Amino acid sequence: MSENDIHRARLYSALSMGFDRPDDELLWAIDEGSFAEAVSASASALNDDIEEAASALEEALPTEPSELRSAYAAAFGNENESTVSQYETGYAPGTLVTNTNQLADMAGFYRAFGLDIAAGRRDRADYLSTQLEFISHLATQRAYLEEEGDETGVEVVTDARASFIEDHLGRWVPRFVAEVREEIDEPFYRTLSNLLSALVENENEVLAISPEEFEAEPTAPLESLPGIERDEEGRLATSCGAMASPEPQQPGVER
């Protein structure tokens, strides 16, 4: 199993690099051929669907890698202005403010394995590239612990990987991939998203998990409150008692 973990780690690392803002390292790897070589070799060691997606990606690599910078800006821009969001909270019900517990949970996963957002990075914990890099780290850790014969460590890392994919990555990747296919024309990002989809689907099978995917159009938090209704013209209206004080609750515990 450790060899498969190494291949998974390599694929997640390549996906993390590919979905991040194009830097000189990525452009060099594409131009020099090492990006395609790493993806192809590791994909062929896993399953046919992943290998097929990797082959399509290899054919879609840009002949002028520097053009990826403008393609990335047009597709993903930043967290506030973009065609497709690369942030989990962009797909979760509610807003960034109401999803602070989700962000705290992700940060807790990272800290539990001695990781944190690198100094100088402006991205949140729910950024796609960050999540993929974390799963790559877990796969590498699992391979090492298995080689060392640390069964307890292997179990801990495996459980963490399953939990993180089931609670986070696996819940929004299907929506993200669907939006890339619908909104983005750049072949590199379309085929990269297909590889991501194939890998996550394989993870669900291998880890025996079933992430509850975020709805395509989740109900707005305001409309889910008691007494919030719409009139015949679709305008929000509050009924009597909507502003009544709720029952006191214990404060949530942040992980």
Beta bridge partners of 237: 229
pLDDT at residue 220, rounded to an integer: 44
Q: How far apart are CA 10 and CA 133, in angstroms?
A: 10
Distances 38 to 26, 121, 125, 236 between C-alpha atoms, Å: 13, 26, 26, 53
pLDDT at residue 212, rounded to an integer: 95
Predicted TM-score (pTM) of this structure: 0.82
Q: Write down the domain spans for the chain.
A: 2-216
Q: Please state whether beta strands 228-230 and 236-238 pair in parallel, antiparallel, or not at all (unpaired).
A: antiparallel
pLDDT at residue 121, rounded to an integer: 73
**Please, what are the averages of pLDDT over each run of 10 residues along the chain (255 residues)?**
89 97 95 95 95 96 92 80 86 83 93 84 89 97 96 97 97 96 95 98 96 74 41 39 35 33
At 237 the three-state DSSP class reads strand
Q: How far apart are CA 84 and CA 63, in angstroms?
A: 24
Cβ contact 236:223 at 8 Å: yes
DSSP 87: B
> What fold does the segment set 2-216 form as a domain?
TorD-like (1.10.3480)
Q: Which amino acid belongs to residue 181?
A: R
Token reading at 136: 């790559």
